[in-house]
Amino acid sequence: MITKNLQTLHSDIPHNVQLIAVSKTKPFSDIQVAYDAGQRDFGENKVQELVEKSLILPTDIRWHLIGHLQTNKVKYIAPFVHLIHAVDSIKLLKEINKQAKKHERNINCLLQFHIAQENTKFGLSLLEAKEIVNSPDFLQLENVKIYGVMGMASFISDQEAITNEFKKLKEIFSELKLTCFLSNENFNEISMGMSGDYDLAIQEGSTMIRVGSKIFGHRNY
Ligand SMILES: *Cc1c(COP(=O)(O)O)cnc(C)c1O
């Protein structure tokens, strides 16, 4: 099933859109099946689970942390993580930079924005992001590479409302690119779209979709 689902997805999405297979709660064996089908980018939302899986599974997997990251847990993923999707404070950026330096590597990050109607405490506003990017501390982050933005739409069925939230993230991306990241050639990614809404996200300019249940089936928490 997993192999078939991946094939279907790939025939459905444009080549310039990257597919992150979200494997949270799923066993090693499921990830191995997807790997054997050619999938190399996997997303997890918990640090401990990400670390455990990275130790067992093939070392050329690119691991994406897509969930909220606590400052005190950066050290566990710093040696190997490929992209951190949900960065939303200068404090976290400073810790990522410190740990990246320790491991003599750069760590790629996306800034997470709050675009949904729901009241979650995660994600920046455009104003907050500009404050971070224009702060003196930001210039010192030599081992952090900012690759773009990430957001999650509301869990609702109103397609127009979801589309508007994705439009908002695209606008934030364009505004930041023009005002803060014009000389940063890495700043190109818009991580938006999940199993239920990736088609809308792609229409609105997503470059990276994070798809779990459409590949691995429903999750039992
Ligand atoms: C779980 C999760 C996904 C994937 O969700 P599906 O609906 O199973 O595709 C994508 N992004 C984040 C941040 C997640 O936590």
Q: Where are the domains of the chain?
A: 2-216
Token pair for 134 = 């224009």
Cα 179 to averaged position of ligand 1 atoms, centre (Å): 30
Our answer on whether the CB atom of 53 is closer than 6 Å to any ligand 1 atom is no
Our answer on whether the CB atom of 89 is closer than 6 Å to any ligand 1 atom is no
Per-residue pLDDT, 220: 81
Strand 83-87, strand 107-113: pairing: parallel
Task: Name the nearest CA neighbour of 149 among 91, 196, 204.
Answer: 204
Indicate if the alpha-carbon torsion angle 127, 128, 129, 132 is positive or negative.
positive
Per-residue pLDDT, 120: 74
Per-residue pLDDT of the chain (221 residues; tens, 9 = 90+): 999 999 999 999 999 999 999 999 999 999 999 999 999 999 999 999 999 999 999 999 999 999 999 999 999 999 999 999 999 999 999 999 999 999 999 999 999 999 998 877 789 999 999 999 999 999 999 999 999 999 999 999 999 999 999 999 999 999 999 999 999 999 999 999 999 999 999 999 999 999 999 999 999 86
CATH class belonging to 2-216:
alpha beta
Token pair for 52 = 């455990």
Per-residue pLDDT, 122: 87
Instruction: Supply the angle between the helices 28-36 and 2-12 in degrees, to the nearest 10.
Output: 50
- CA–CA dist 183, 185 (Å, integer): 6
Cα 144 to averaged position of ligand 1 atoms, centre (Å): 24
Ligand 1 pocket: which of 20, 49, 209, 210 to mutate (most atoms <8 Å of CB)? 210
Token pair for 185 = 């050639």
Our answer on whether the CB atom of 194 is closer than 6 Å to any ligand 1 atom is yes
